A = this chain, B = another copy of it.
Amino acid sequence: MAVRKERVDAARNREAVLAAADALFARSDSPRGVSMDDVAAAAGVGKGTLFRRFGDRTGLIRALVEARIEPLRQAVESGPAPLGPATPPYERVPALLDAVLGFKLANRHLALALEETGSGSPYQAEHYQWWHATLRQTLDGLPGLADSSFTAHALLAATRADLVEHLAGTEGMTAEGMRTHIAAYAKQVLGQ
């Protein structure tokens, strides 16, 4: 079963689109300010190409996020402490939350775009499911927690992209402040 090789023009266009989209989202105040026509034009590509490659708007954004999040995923799945699977739960839970928050801080526009793009709730997204499963399993290694699944959802909710945006924007909270707060909060949830 040979894997059909991607044509060179197709590959070139894919790169151009990803680069253009990334730049556009980074520049724009709100993800809504970036239309698919904008992306196509900036990439020097037709709309048809754009949609055939990525399916729809959500697919495009997901591709961008996926590319950025890959190293983090590796670190969580098979890396060393404090993110890797061998880390003791008490240490790993805050580390996981900090990693999620850190990612959203470093990629605010993308995280926001992904959450905001309506097609289905954020909770259906594959990468949310993965974070949730990982966090839940880690919480399971801890005694005295009522329900690890709900707790995982609740903890992750504290890192929602629009909340991060609000805290950083309207409330003027710094990245460091946020990290400190969520660490303290996680500690509290874990019962010190």
| A positions within 8 Å CB-CB of B | 32, 116, 118, 121-124, 145-147, 149-151, 153-154, 157-158, 160, 162-163, 165-167, 170-171, 181-182, 184-185, 188-189, 191-192
Contact = CB atoms under 8 A, between A and B. Distances in A.
Contacts of A151: 185, 188
Contacts of A170: 123-124
Nearest to A144: B188
Given A150-B167, A191-B192, 6 more contacts: A121-B166, A150-B181, A151-B188, A153-B158, A154-B158, A189-B189
15 contacts: A121-B166, A123-B162, A123-B163, A123-B166, A145-B188, A146-B185, A150-B167, A151-B188, A153-B158, A153-B163, A154-B157, A154-B158, A154-B182, A157-B158, A188-B188
Contact of A121 (B121, B153, B165, B189): B165
A169 to B, nearest CB: 9
